[in-house]
Structure 1
Amino acid sequence: MSNTSNGSHVDSYYAATAKELPDHPKLEGQIEADVCVIGGGYTGLSAALHLAERGYSVALLEAERVGWGASGRNGGHVGVGQRVGQDVLESKVGKEQARIFWDMGIEAVQTVKDLVEKHQIDCDLKQGALHVTHKASHIPDYQAEVEHLSKHYDFEHIRFVDTDEVRQLVGSDNYQCGTLDTFSCHLHPLNYALGLAKAAEQAGVKIYEGSRVTGYTSANNTSSSETQVTTAEGSVKAKYVVLGCNGYLGKLEPRMAGKIMPINNFVLATEPLSEDLCRELIRDDTSVADSLFVIDYWKLSGDNRLLFGGGENYTSRFPKDMKNFVRKYMLKVYPQLQNTRIDYAWGGTLAITLNRMPHFGRLDNNVFYAQGYSGHGVPTATMAGKLIAEAVAGTAERFDVMASYPTHTFPGGTLLRWPGLVAGMLYYSLRDKF
């Protein structure tokens, strides 16, 4: 199966249980707006909503449907912090700067919660995140992380979980210990995206679907202070542009493309499970993720299905039999689900950076972007939109903090990044196995 569109959402559990899937018009003719947002995922939707609330006129252009990309297909985990640990950040930027990144990560999760509450988004929001490891050698590290976050970051919502308890919490003998974080949460990602879109429209944002951007003119290269964003059948004249394309950036902006690598990840949804089996698999209804380099991650849906993500590939095509592709990862964790029916399986494309930190920045002074969330997109992309809105409004300090973290270009740029990444991923996959 290829990662292409026929004008509708992919056949996923999320699309099948979407609360509303309204159609938005295609852009035709020329319009004007203060800001043109390119991309109808979390980055673009959050930026559009926060900008509209500040009084800006906003046009949002989405090539497919709102939430069609990773924002409508992911695991729905909303975790604290950044994609890399605080110890890594401290070693790279120092304790003071690392604390700023931590606080932004906390605010990102809280922003998701606040948006869900403020706009009454029906997206199965649930509390708690459990991180588990296969390796007994990791026990001291997990204990030290909990102590470090409590002592230096005043984070009291996390505790260490020993071997006996972790196996009670996840119903699997695979794991040696874990950390249980009660501040993080999880949700139905497509319904969250659709809720953001509805809120944005109510705030005055004009959303256009089926309106793939073919290019834009740089304000720096014209006599005008405005930028012209073009689609096949229309254009937007805007003072500012927001690029929220992430893994679907393609060739739209070569100056950013080499900083990210699109990869594909896959998820399945089982048939509805009994309440007893749900409590056996995930006793406290938290999200769960393991410590493998190519992680497994899972949670229970609002109607008691196991949503399990596992496996990835690095081509433009998805596995032909995604149900069995992901099922083998699920059965390694839960062999008791051998006879459980798989109702849905789907894939999506996300973007990673070399250092796994998000890539924020600006081009030509009036073009803002954020990308490369590396599997941490629900909170980070939502926060990115908020920070972009601040920057457009003239308060760029917090945006600039995120932009200051160096993001290196993949070796070989867009041409040679793929074979290098595959070699690296195979190496770490072998480490996972042995």
Structure 2
Amino acid sequence: MTDPLNHSYYAATAHEWRPRAFEGDLECDVAVIGGGFTGLSAALACAERGFSAILIEREHIGFGASGRNGGQLIPGLRWTASEIEDELGRERADALFDLCWRDNRVKARIAKHGIDCDLKAGHLEAAWTPKDFDAMRHEAEYLANRFNYRTVVVAKGEMSRHIASPLYHGGIHDAAAGHFHPLNYAIGLARAAEAEGVRIWEGEPVRRIVDCSDGSSQIFTERAIVSARYVIDATDSWIGDLEPDLGRYTVPIMNYNVATAPLANADALLPSDAAVADSRFVLNYFRLSADKRLIFGGGERYSQTPPRDIAAFVRPFMADVFPQIADAKIEYGWGGAVAVTMNRLPHIGRRGNVFYAHGFSGHGALVTTLAGELIAEAMAGTAERFDVLANLPSRPFPGGKWLRRPLATLGLLWYALRDRLG
């Protein structure tokens, strides 16, 4: 399928990966649907545990958000650690912190398999308002005192060490966070999975999942039937196409990114080479690529119809942050859907022999790899850590099939308006 949203820097600089051919009817222990971070890490971890695994991808490896995102590796979830403890209690906060802040499975996979994906250290959360900065300072104190997790509070007068922009009122720098080339990471996971014996099919749409009387499942693709003891649905934004009841838990939000031509003043824009995301509800997020381009994401659209000119859509947001490059040449513009849940926490679980993980809400570059590995762990008989994520609170969007998305859009527009009103 020709994808008008994927004129991306990542696709232009991706490592070689030839399409994997269709094979026909097969049997396996685990059938994985979806070739993004969740599906790839799950397939790889299953194979490492001795399961035979087949991964089926409708398009190509990294086609969805895994190959198009901002490349920012931010520990944790969309809720702060203090919010998690306030809402879920101390014991669950401890378990979630160990998994989602301390256990960086992306760095572990990159190191284990020698994945070349331009990994860099450092992330700055930039405060849009003084009130946001006060909240960040309190959270940094909480992380240090409660979990001995050290971040650096950056006052407004010190922000020039990280970013050449006057917009922000301070921030928090996390050296344990970072950024990378997400599509090359996905390709690296795919190569590692194949080396462990995972069979990968691309260009093969799955039409339905059928439960069998013996507890196994059959996956009906466009041209074949795959029989499996277990199924992992890792289709994220497209999960409602296969399992409409799970689709009720997310709505798709369109995000757009650009990459400039290489910039002579790149190091002056972001002197510490940290990735940056600001604290607005409709946030700006940006970083430098390995070849000194600014990769910038800004603005959201609640219609799935993309702007005619993605570069023109994103440029005003970039120019607002960095007026000194307002007229910089933009060489790539792309976009894609982010599956967002009601509370911005991922929706992870199992129904019988079918596991699922979706709704990472724009905060999935790290936790998707973790989710895939925990699914494999649970499948092998140890479900305690999987249950930590599976027991996160969740509820479907109201409104049913026809009103769910319009109602969600109204709520999201209200929060976006609050950004503009300050």
Q: TM-score range by the shorter chain?
A: over 0.9
Calculate percent identity across the aligned residue pairs: 45
Please point out which of 292, 305, 309 is paired with 1:321: 309
- Cα distance in 1 between the residues matched to 2:355 and 2:232: 5
- Cα distance in 2 between the residues matched to 1:407 and 1:401: 13
Shift of the alpha carbon at 1:338?
1.8
Structure 2 equivalent of residue 146 of structure 1? 140
Question: What does 1:82-231 align with in structure 2 at a 5 Å threshold?
Answer: 82-108=77-103, 110-156=104-150, 158-219=151-212, 223-231=213-221
Question: What does 1:36-115 align with in structure 2 at a 5 Å threshold?
Answer: 36-108=31-103, 110-115=104-109
- Cα distance in 2 between the residues matched to 1:413 and 1:356: 19
- Cα distance in 2 between the residues matched to 1:39 and 1:321: 29
Kept in 2, the 8 Å contact 1:129–1:180? The answer is yes
Letter aligned with residue 412 of structure 2: M
Q: Secondary structure at the match of 2:69?
A: coil
Q: Which runs of 4+ in 1 moved over 6 A?
A: none
1:18-53 deviation per Cα after TM superposition (whole angstroms, max 9, x unaligned): 012221112x42100000000000000000000000
Between 1:292-301 and 1:407-416, the stretch displaced more is 407-416
Kept in 1, the 8 Å contact 2:132–2:279? The answer is no
TM normalised by structure 2 equals 0.97
Letter aligned with residue 410 of structure 1: F
Letter aligned with residue 269 of structure 2: L
Please point out which of 339, 359, 369 is paired with 1:382: 369
Structure 1 equivalent of residue 415 of structure 2? 428
Shift of the alpha carbon at 1:8?
10
Structure 2 equivalent of residue 6 of structure 1? 2
Q: Secondary structure at the match of 2:367?
A: helix
Shift of the alpha carbon at 1:55?
0.6
- Cα distance in 2 between the residues matched to 1:97 and 1:268: 38
TM normalised by structure 1 equals 0.95
Structure 2 equivalent of residue 247 of structure 1? 237
Structure 1 equivalent of residue 288 of structure 2? 300
Structure 2 equivalent of residue 279 of structure 1? 267
The question of 1:361 aligning with 2:353 is answered no
- Over 3 Å counting, the alpha-carbon distance change for 1:138 and 1:263 in structure 2 is closer
Kept in 1, the 8 Å contact 2:162–2:274? The answer is no
Kept in 2, the 8 Å contact 1:213–1:231? The answer is yes
- Cα distance in 1 between the residues matched to 2:32 and 2:66: 16
Structure 1 equivalent of residue 324 of structure 2? 336
Q: Secondary structure at the match of 1:262?
A: strand
1:52-107 deviation per Cα after TM superposition (whole angstroms, max 9, x unaligned): 00010000000000000000000011111111111221121112211211111124
Aligned length: 421
- Cα distance in 2 between the residues matched to 1:229 and 1:140: 51
Unaligned runs of 5+ in 2: none
- Cα distance in 1 between the residues matched to 2:224 and 2:372: 25
Q: Secondary structure at the match of 2:232?
A: strand
Letter aligned with residue 307 of structure 1: I
Q: Secondary structure at the match of 1:378?
A: coil
Q: Secondary structure at the match of 2:187?
A: helix
- Over 3 Å counting, the alpha-carbon distance change for 1:107 and 1:385 in structure 2 is farther
Between 1:47-56 and 1:243-252, the stretch displaced more is 243-252
Shift of the alpha carbon at 1:159?
1.1
Kept in 2, the 8 Å contact 1:82–1:102? The answer is no
Question: What does 1:17-36 align with in structure 2 at a 5 Å threshold?
Answer: 17-26=13-22, 28-36=23-31
Kept in 2, the 8 Å contact 1:14–1:189? The answer is yes
Kept in 1, the 8 Å contact 2:130–2:169? The answer is yes
Kept in 2, the 8 Å contact 1:7–1:65? The answer is no
- Cα distance in 1 between the residues matched to 2:320 and 2:194: 44
Shift of the alpha carbon at 1:254?
1.4
- Over 3 Å counting, the alpha-carbon distance change for 1:7 and 1:230 in structure 2 is farther
Shift of the alpha carbon at 1:349?
0.9
The question of 1:405 aligning with 2:392 is answered yes
Shift of the alpha carbon at 1:251?
2.0
- Cα distance in 1 between the residues matched to 2:281 and 2:75: 19
- Cα distance in 2 between the residues matched to 1:245 and 1:419: 22
- Over 3 Å counting, the alpha-carbon distance change for 1:206 and 1:107 in structure 2 is farther
Letter aligned with residue 127 of structure 1: A
Kept in 1, the 8 Å contact 2:123–2:177? The answer is yes
Kept in 2, the 8 Å contact 1:7–1:64? The answer is no
- Over 3 Å counting, the alpha-carbon distance change for 1:9 and 1:210 in structure 2 is farther
RMSD: 1.3
- Over 3 Å counting, the alpha-carbon distance change for 1:130 and 1:232 in structure 2 is same
Kept in 1, the 8 Å contact 2:240–2:248? The answer is no
Shift of the alpha carbon at 1:168?
3.6
- Cα distance in 1 between the residues matched to 2:252 and 2:240: 9
- Over 3 Å counting, the alpha-carbon distance change for 1:71 and 1:399 in structure 2 is same
